[in-house]
């Protein structure tokens, strides 16, 4: 346990203040000890994974930050499927590679995403036509207010676009996640970027071939230099009514629309920022919208969380002025109760 630890190095954004108390947990017992400690000191407890979707306020976190370091990965056969059982702190990329070594399908489209499997479950990570929810079986959790164990199944996890039960019920700390993967070939390569690569002649038959292709697509957008921090897409793509989508499509005929099962329409915010608002590369001081993907906010060394947040608000204001859409952040403010 340490006091007054700067959290910036524990996040990919690289900005923000200190944790009042910082504890690293390598076992479930250490998580339980941290829960007891926080309760005795009457402090809030905030679990931290790889810090890849977080904005830490400059004022820091007035509580106990618990870095989840448990990272074992195990396999279990279940009929035709294979279950992968991973500790919450296991790196998502390691899980993707391990699944691929076993020639298991299900998460190959999600290659190249930073973070841990615990964070990936909270966030229901998604990319290239897949999301974590498709393979999630259950998560084992500890309730941080009572210390009790609870298993949350896929149905209970209530996954939706970049959200889950875990996001709305912060009292549960995920300790282990089980995914159901398949040995049978089910390549999912309809997402435009992947379809294009396939049509150009790249074989996309095995998890490993798809992983290589996805990482290559992502690598064109990254890496940023070491002087720059980011948490990936800062905003969610807006999900709007059919009527609003139709009226936007009249003004912006090329705006990519993704109809949802419930009749609503997801629209590409990157496109709006790029073509409707010409904000690619737009900057205020050390914060800017990334040139290669304007949904990404980049903070140069020396930027503050306050600047990042004010910049994001300015972008949201401009999107609202141009379209009437209230955009939501995907990146979370860390330490908020
Ligand atoms: N576009 C532009 N200009 C650009 C970049 C993109 O106009 O500079 C338009 C293009 O029309 C493109 C469309 O935006 O076809 C979509 O772009 P992209 O495929 O990069 O996807 P996205 O909708 O911006 C989402 C996820 C990403 C995920 C990608 C790929 C969200 C908020 N973001 O981005 O996830 O990797 O799809 O599947 O849903 C993340 O959540 O942090 C994240 C990176």
Average pLDDT on 84-89 reads 98
Confidence check: pLDDT of 161 > 80: yes
Contacts of 101 (CB under 8 A, 6+ apart): none
Alpha-carbon distance of 337 to 335, in angstroms, equals 6
The answer to whether residues 289 and 282 touch, using CB atoms and an 8 Å cutoff, is yes
Q: Which two tokens stand for residue 153?
A: 């199944």
Alpha-carbon distance of 126 to 113, in angstroms, equals 9
What is the maximal distance between C-alpha atoms in the chain? 61
Task: For residue 1, report the distance from its CA to the centre of ligand 1, in Å.
Answer: 39
Average pLDDT on 272-284 reads 98
Reported confidence tier of residue 185, pLDDT bands at 50, 70, 90: confident
What pLDDT score does 186 carry? 86
What pLDDT score does 222 carry? 81
**pLDDT one-digit tens code per residue, 122-141:** 999 999 999 999 999 999 99
**pLDDT one-digit tens code per residue, 298-319:** 999 999 999 999 999 999 999 9
Q: Which two tokens stand for residue 252?
A: 């912006």
Confidence check: pLDDT of 96 > 70: yes
What pLDDT score does 322 carry? 96
Confidence check: pLDDT of 8 > 70: yes
Reported confidence tier of residue 336, pLDDT bands at 50, 70, 90: confident
pTM recorded for the entire structure? 0.96
What pLDDT score does 337 carry? 62
Task: For residue 315, report the distance from its CA to the centre of ligand 1, in Å.
Answer: 17
Counting residues of the chain whose pLDDT is more than 90, the rounded percentage is 96
Alpha-carbon distance of 255 to 280, in angstroms, equals 16
List, chain by chain if needed, residues with CB within 6 Å of any ligand 1 atom. 127-128, 192-193, 232-233, 236-237, 256, 268, 270-271, 274-275, 280, 293-295, 330
What pLDDT score does 255 carry? 97
Confidence check: pLDDT of 291 > 80: yes
The answer to whether residues 146 and 220 touch, using CB atoms and an 8 Å cutoff, is no
Reported confidence tier of residue 226, pLDDT bands at 50, 70, 90: confident
Confidence check: pLDDT of 164 > 70: yes
- Please give the mean pLDDT across all residues of the chain: 96
**Of the residues 91, 162, 176, 218, which is catalytic?**
162
Ligand 1 atom at shortest distance from the alpha carbon of 218: 36
What pLDDT score does 189 carry? 96
Q: What's the CA dihedral at 333, 323, 128, 279 to 10 degrees? A: -80
Which pairs count as long-range contacts for 24-28, CB under 8 Å and 24+ apart, including other chains? Answer: 24/66, 24/67, 24/69, 25/66, 25/67, 25/68, 25/69, 25/70, 26/69, 26/70, 27/70, 28/70, 28/142, 28/175
Reported confidence tier of residue 224, pLDDT bands at 50, 70, 90: confident
Tell me whether residue 243 is exposed, middle or buried, using C-beta atoms within 10 angstroms of its C-beta: 0 to 12, 13 to 18, 19 or more. exposed
What domains appear along the chain, each with residue ranges and CATH number?
A: 2-68 (3.30.43.10), 73-182 (3.30.465.10), 228-333 (3.90.78.10)
Contacts of 49 (CB under 8 A, 6+ apart): 68, 88, 89, 115, 116, 118, 119
The two beta strands, 239-240 and 257-259, are unpaired
Alpha-carbon distance of 104 to 330, in angstroms, equals 29
Alpha-carbon distance of 286 to 77, in angstroms, equals 50
Average pLDDT on 232-248 reads 97
Counting residues of the chain whose pLDDT is more than 70, the rounded percentage is 100
Alpha-carbon distance of 286 to 299, in angstroms, equals 6
Task: For residue 210, report the distance from its CA to the centre of ligand 1, in Å.
Answer: 18
What pLDDT score does 56 carry? 98
The answer to whether 330 is a known catalytic residue is yes
The answer to whether 233 is a known catalytic residue is yes
The answer to whether residues 286 and 13 touch, using CB atoms and an 8 Å cutoff, is no
Residue 36: how many other CB atoms lie within 10 Å: 11
What pLDDT score does 333 carry? 97
Least confident of 110-114, 222-226, 253-257, 320-324: 222-226
Average pLDDT on 325-331 reads 98
**pLDDT one-digit tens code per residue, 11-47:** 999 999 999 999 999 999 999 999 999 999 999 999 9
The answer to whether residues 115 and 49 touch, using CB atoms and an 8 Å cutoff, is yes
């Amino acid at each position: 346990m340490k006091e007054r630890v700067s959290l910036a190095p524990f996040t990919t954004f690289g900005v923000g203040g200190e944790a009042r108390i910082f504890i690293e947990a390598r076992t479930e017992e250490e998580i339980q000890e941290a829960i007891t400690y926080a309760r005795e000191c009457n402090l809030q407890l905030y679990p931290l994974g790889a810090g890849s979707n977080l904005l830490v306020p400059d004022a820091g976190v007035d509580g106990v930050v618990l870095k989840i370091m448990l990272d074992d990965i195990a396999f279990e056969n279940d009929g035709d499927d294979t279950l992968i059982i991973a500790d919450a702190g296991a790196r998502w990329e390691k899980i993707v590679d391990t699944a691929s070594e076993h020639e298991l399908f299900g998460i190959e489209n999600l290659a190249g995403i930073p973070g841990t499997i615990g964070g990936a479950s909270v966030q229901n990570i998604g990319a290239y036509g897949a999301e974590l929810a498709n393979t999630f079986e259950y998560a084992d959790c500890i309730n941080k207010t009572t210390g009790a164990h609870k298993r949350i199944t896929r149905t209970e996890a209530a996954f939706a676009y970049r959200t889950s039960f875990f996001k709305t019920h912060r009292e549960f700390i995920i300790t282990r996640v089980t995914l159901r993967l398949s040995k049978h070939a089910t390549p999912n390569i309809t997402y435009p970027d992947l379809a294009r690569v396939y049509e150009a002649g790249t074989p996309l038959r095995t998890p490993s071939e798809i992983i290589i292709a996805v990482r290559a697509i992502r690598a064109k957008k990254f890496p940023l230099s070491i002087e720059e921090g980011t948490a990936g897409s800062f905003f969610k793509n807006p999900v709007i009514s059919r009527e609003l989508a139709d009226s936007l499509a009249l003004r912006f005929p090329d705006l990519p629309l993704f109809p949802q099962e419930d009749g609503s329409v997801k629209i590409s915010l990157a496109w709006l920022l790029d073509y409707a608002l010409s904000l690619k590369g737009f900057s205020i001081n050390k914060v800017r919208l990334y040139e290669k993907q304007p949904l990404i906010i980049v903070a140069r060394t020396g930027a503050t969380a306050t600047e990042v947040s004010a910049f994001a608000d300015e972008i949201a204001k401009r999107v609202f002025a141009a379209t009437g859409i209230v955009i939501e952040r995907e990146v979370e403010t860390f330490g908020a109760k």
